[in-house]
Amino acid sequence: MDTLWASLIGLFLIALGVVLAFNLLQGRQSRLRDAWRDKLSGSGRPAAAPASPPPSEPGAGGGPRGEPSVGADHRAGLSAGRPGDRVEPTFRPAAEAGPEAGGSPGDRRDSMSFGEDRPGPAERSERPAARAGTGEDDEPSWREDLAPPEPPASDTANGPVLDPRLDCIVAFGLGAPVAAERLLAAASTLRRAGSKPIAVEADGGDGRWTVPHASLGAVRRVRAGVLLANRHGPLNAMEFSEFGTAMQALGRAIGAGGAIVPDMAPVLEHARQLDEACAQFDAVLGLNVETPTALSPGELAALAAGLGLQERGNNRFTAIGDEGEALFSLALGERAEQLTLLLDVPRAPQAAEPWARMVQAAHLCAERTGGRVVDDAGQPMTDTAAAGVDRQLAMRYLSLQDAGLDAGSPAALRVFN
């Protein structure tokens, strides 16, 4: 009997020891996870961060790095596939060309590369090449003989949207003033013609175009327009026909008796020229952060919160500028142990210094995850490479400004969308 009791007591003590050891192990793992999340979010770290990455040796990555270069301007051809699908490009050698695996048929953005020409992913197949636009004689003809855009109204919240350079505009002749409520009801179903947005504007009697609203009162003039080109490509014949039908219906609804729609051929030619011109300026820059281990969505969210980024859904986070503009995005990369940061050049204003801020964010990501910042070929991002890209970006921003499509402006946000 004494032996039985001794055995039971021994088993009880062994079980108690196993439970205590398990609890200690779980507590240690929980503390390690909490410490990792604190490191990702930057808790307990000084708020100030280095404005530029730590200096790297010129020979890092297997030899001297070449001057960064912008990839060849191009845009993928339109097809019958899903028009909204887009592939976010990253850095790649500019000298390569060819179909890209998994490329998007509706994407017109080019990629910008840096580093010497070396083997890497091929670029997207090109559409018909746009004119170089290197001098006055080569300036895209879509800008010739066109009136400059009208200045915005003083109340910019309801200022004009339509631009004769960017839209096919139809004006309606009103025999008598129309109530703003009637116009709003008639225009409520007008959203898009295919992939191109439609906008309606009104003149309440002060001679200025504005987006119609209920407090506008009686409307003296009405006009509507469809965007000629965006990242889905130029306005096509089917979209133009859909727009024309919608304009006839709108004219009848507001008592204008229909609408006079321009001939299709010159409008589609204008759209094609605008699309080709925009292809010269369109680009997205990407940076990758290689991490020692794959980050979970929760760890990515903690890292993004520590950088002050805002969630945009689907594990994507965005840096927002002082004026509410999107500067760059952060998301999980194509590989498990990778983060990707993207800068949509025409949509991010130069004054906000989006490139410098994205490079800084990438190095903070690397510091907090124990990773490193690399380009698309896996080569480390150096100060020299970052400075070279910054110089090329300045030229790209100047080209956008010369074309009247300043990066981040309302016009640029419309056509680069």
Band (355; pLDDT cuts 50, 70, 90): very high
Number of separate helices (H) and strands (E) present in the chain: 8, 16
Residue 16 domain flag: no
Q: Are 261 and 286 part of one and the same domain?
A: no
pLDDT above 70 covers a percentage of the chain that reads 67
Residue 110 domain flag: yes
Residue 150 domain flag: no
Cβ neighbour number for residue 117 with a 10 Å cutoff = 12
Q: Are 367 and 260 part of one and the same domain?
A: no
* Parallel, antiparallel or unpaired: strands 326-332 and 316-320: antiparallel
Domain-terminating residue out of 216, 245, 271: 271
Q: What is the pLDDT of residue 34?
A: 59
Instruction: With a cut of 70, say whether residue 154 has pLDDT above it.
Output: no
Q: Are 295 and 391 part of one and the same domain?
A: yes
Q: How far is 21 from 95, CA to CA, in rounded Å?
A: 60
Residue 381 domain flag: yes
Each as own residue / partner, the long-range contacts of residues 39-45 (CB below 8 Å, 24 or more positions apart, any chain) are: 39/368, 40/295, 40/299, 40/302, 40/303, 40/306, 40/368, 40/369, 41/302, 41/303, 41/305, 41/306, 42/306, 42/307, 42/364, 42/368, 43/306
Q: Are 257 and 293 part of one and the same domain?
A: no
Q: Are 345 and 297 part of one and the same domain?
A: yes
Give the pLDDT confidence of 244-267 residue by residue, as tens digits: 999 999 999 999 987 899 999 999
Give the pLDDT confidence of 113-124 residue by residue, as tens digits: 333 333 333 333
Q: 16-30, 219-233, 339-353, 399-413: which range is least confident on average?
A: 16-30
Query: Would you say 88 and 405 are in contact if contact means Cβ atoms under 8 Å apart?
Result: no
Q: Are 401 and 298 part of one and the same domain?
A: yes
Give the pLDDT confidence of 231-243 residue by residue, as tens digits: 999 999 999 999 9
Range of the domain at 192: 158-271
Q: Are 194 and 290 part of one and the same domain?
A: no
Residue 129 domain flag: no
Q: Are 310 and 360 part of one and the same domain?
A: yes
Q: 127-136, 183-192, 223-232: which range is least confident on average?
A: 127-136
Residue 13 domain flag: no
Q: Are 286 and 266 part of one and the same domain?
A: no
Domain-terminating residue out of 248, 271, 294: 271
Beta bridge partners of 225: 169, 199
Q: Are 237 and 362 part of one and the same domain?
A: no
Q: Are 212 and 302 part of one and the same domain?
A: no
In terms of Cα–Cα distance, which of 336, 215, 340 is closest to 284? Answer: 340
Band (417; pLDDT cuts 50, 70, 90): very high
Looking at residue 258, which CATH number applies to its domain? 3.30.1400
Is residue 3 helix, strand or coil? Answer: helix
Tally of domains within the chain: 2
Is residue 319 helix, strand or coil? Answer: strand
Domain-terminating residue out of 271, 292, 321: 271
- pTM comes to 0.67
Cβ neighbour number for residue 112 with a 10 Å cutoff = 24
Residue 131 domain flag: no
Q: Are 182 and 102 part of one and the same domain?
A: no
Instruction: With a cut of 90, say whether residue 268 has pLDDT above it.
Output: yes
Band (38; pLDDT cuts 50, 70, 90): low
* Parallel, antiparallel or unpaired: strands 283-290 and 110-113: parallel
Looking at residue 91, which CATH number applies to its domain? 3.30.1400.10
Residue 361 domain flag: yes
